[in-house]
Amino acid sequence: MRMMNILPILVIVLAFIFLAPFFLDVYNLGVLRETLMWAALTASWFFFSGLTKYISLGSAAFFGTGLYFTALYLEQSIFLKNLPALPLPIIVVMAGLLNFAIALAIGLISLRLKGIYFAIATLALGIACQGVFNYIVSDIMKTYYTHIPPFDLQTTYYTIAIAALVIFIIIYTLYRSNLGFALRMIGENEDAAIHFGVNASLTKTIGFALSAMCIGLMGGCYTTIFTVTAPTIAFNLQFSFMPPMMAMFGGLVTFYSPIIGAVILSVLRNYLGITFVHHFLIVLGIIIVIIAEFMPEGIVGFVRKIVRKLTMRSLKESEKR
């Protein structure tokens, strides 16, 4: 899809995002904020795992590290005065860079693994990171909760919205770059990619680290919705499982399809959570199973297949005439 074709849509979407606090109520603004957060996490996950087919379940590790690093820094600098007070964007960037460094180190080891072994290794990383922050908070700081200065609703919303848009730009730029092309080659056939001169080990490690950095940036921004948090909140395993589910729900066929999946599934979660308070997880699970069974390329892939069939049918009919 050419940029000129989608430019009007992008303008409308951006206008809606930036003007939303002026016409949405508190609940719906919260839904939009959560949707943007999930969309950014899904796009970040897709950049590495969707392209390389190395399924990572480590998003909770990077999201939680970004969130809790930011929370600890805010508490230590504002309430306890042990650290210099810095603007929130700088703290969030520091959280992203910390995740980049962690993923770079872990990637050098774990990316030698493939398939289920890599998935389990990245899932274990989240548990390990939670353990580290549990130790810092409970054993060193002798507490359990971390206190965060309160942010108003608009500040929280715009912090997450702007971070999501920045992450979309970063991921899209990387997706269209030589690095993105090399990651796609690895996903198609890693041996062939190596044969054509791709340094698979370095490419996978850099891609993994950049994906983790973007997840950590969003984690740092998400800190603003809390006034009190704990490691069990920051490292919730839903942050590991929801991005791949959302990406596969939308389809791993284009850059925008995982984002579409994240938007639909996030809104659906909120709607089902109200409509089917005690059963929404069952309903949501059934919907995802149906998508996986009958639409293996996701919703976007299914729609594209239908459009192709209709186009071919119309062409055949026009040829008969």
Predicted confidence (pLDDT) per residue in 19-45, tens digit? 999 999 999 999 999 999 999 999 999
Q: Residue 4 above 60 pLDDT?
A: no
Q: Count other Cβ atoms within 10 Å, centred on residue 95.
A: 27
Q: Residue 97 above 90 pLDDT?
A: yes
pLDDT of residue 272: 79
Burial, 197: exposed, middle or buried (Cβ in 10 Å; 0-12, 13-18, 19+)? exposed
> Which range (5-9, 53-57, 64-68) has the least confidence?
5-9
The crossing angle, in degrees rounded to 10, of helices 88-110 and 200-222 is 150
Contact 119, 58 (CB under 8 A): no
**Over the stretch 270-300, which tens digit does the pLDDT of each residue have?**
887 777 766 777 777 787 788 777 777 888 8
pLDDT of residue 217: 97
Give percent of the chain above pLDDT 70. 97
* DSSP three-state, residue 292: helix
Q: Count other Cβ atoms within 10 Å, centred on residue 20.
A: 17
Place of tokens 């042990």: 82
> Which range (63-67, 101-105, 278-282, 287-291) has the least confidence?
278-282
**Over the stretch 151-208, which tens digit does the pLDDT of each residue have?**
999 999 999 999 999 999 999 999 999 999 999 999 999 999 999 999 999 999 999 9
Cα-Cα-Cα-Cα dihedral sign, residues 226, 221, 275, 297: negative
Cα-Cα-Cα-Cα dihedral sign, residues 72, 74, 78, 83: positive
Query: What six digits make up the tokens of 102?
Result: 């962690």
Give the C-alpha separation, 57 to 54, whole Å: 10
Phi-psi region at 197: left, alpha or beta (left = phi > 0; alpha = psi -120 to 50): left
Contact 250, 298 (CB under 8 A): yes
Query: What is the end-to-end Cα distance of the chain in Å, rounded?
Result: 30
**Domains of the chain in sequence order:** 24-320 (1.10.3470)
Contact 118, 54 (CB under 8 A): yes
Quick one: pLDDT band at residue 5, thresholds 50, 70, 90?
Answer: low
Q: Count other Cβ atoms within 10 Å, centred on residue 120.
A: 13
Q: CA-based angle 64:65:66, to the nearest 5?
A: 90
pLDDT of residue 321: 64
